[in-house]
Amino acid sequence: MRETASAAAKPYHHGDLSRALVQAARRILENEGPAALSLRAVAREAGVSPAAPYHHFKDKNELLEAVAEEGWEQLGAEVAKAREAAPNQRSALSGIGVAYVTFARQNPALYRVMYDGMRDRTEFPEHAKDASSGWNQVECAIIAAGGDPDPAELQLATIAAWCAAHGLAEMASFREFDALKESLGGEEGFIRAILDHLGVFVRPGRDKQPAV
């Protein structure tokens, strides 16, 4: 495979063409939107021949899967960073929520691709099941904060936490809330306050009714 004249200035000169193509796809997604994405456009952005992407991806859908996988890995890393920075286990859950919403707000096109690739799956892909995944880390954080470890209860709590952050990621851009954000010290303060009010990120588990 031969590099084009512009390839020396692109990520491909490091020797990892697959990653360079994924990064090129991400730049196109964020700058021009999904409609502009094609294997030819990605090749042009990466500075390689039009045929080069086909050595790594059979079609656009396969490339998008690789882009989504990198997005989920990046989100997992942000969640891990938030957990490590939290002063205690209870506040770690709010920190995770903040990290999630911030990631979604900073990478809107990537975020859409990540979810578009998950909707029709009957189960999570392998990379979403390992210990470093965001989903697994939320489960661990819920248990560490005193949540119910029963598998069904844990899954429900994790879904609830995930939905809370996902919904807030959708609404955080509403201009209606600009004044409230300012009064709370900015975007992060706003996000954290909303998550704390939702309760799922700070409550140690569903209240149990006393036995009769």
Task: Check which CATH number belongs to the domain holding 50 and give it.
Answer: 1.10.10
What pLDDT does 130 receive?
Answer: 87
Residues 173, 104, single domain; the answer is: yes
Q: What is the mean pLDDT of residues 192-212?
A: 61
pTM of the model as a whole:
0.82
pLDDT band at 201 (very low <50, low <70, confident <90, very high): low
Residues 163, 86, single domain; the answer is: yes
Q: Which residues contact 138 (CB under 8 A, 6 or more apart)?
A: 79, 93, 96, 158, 161, 162
Q: Please give the tally of structural domains in the chain.
A: 2
pLDDT band at 8 (very low <50, low <70, confident <90, very high): very low
Residue 101 has pLDDT above 90, yes or no: yes
Residues 108, 38, single domain; the answer is: no
Assess if residue 206 is contained within a domain.
Answer: no
Residue 15 has pLDDT above 70, yes or no: no
Residue 29 has pLDDT above 90, yes or no: yes
Q: Domain containing 128 — which CATH number?
A: 1.10.357.10
Residues 94, 50, single domain; the answer is: no
User: What is the domain range of residue 51?
Assistant: 7-58
CA neighbor of 145 nearest in space, from 157, 132, 129: 157
Q: What is the mean pLDDT of residues 5-26?
A: 69
Residues 80, 182, single domain; the answer is: yes
What pLDDT does 210 receive?
Answer: 40
Assess if residue 116 is contained within a domain.
Answer: yes
Task: Determine the residue type at 42.
Answer: V
Q: Which residues contact 128 (CB under 8 A, 6 or more apart)?
A: 72, 135
d(CA 199, CA 203): 6
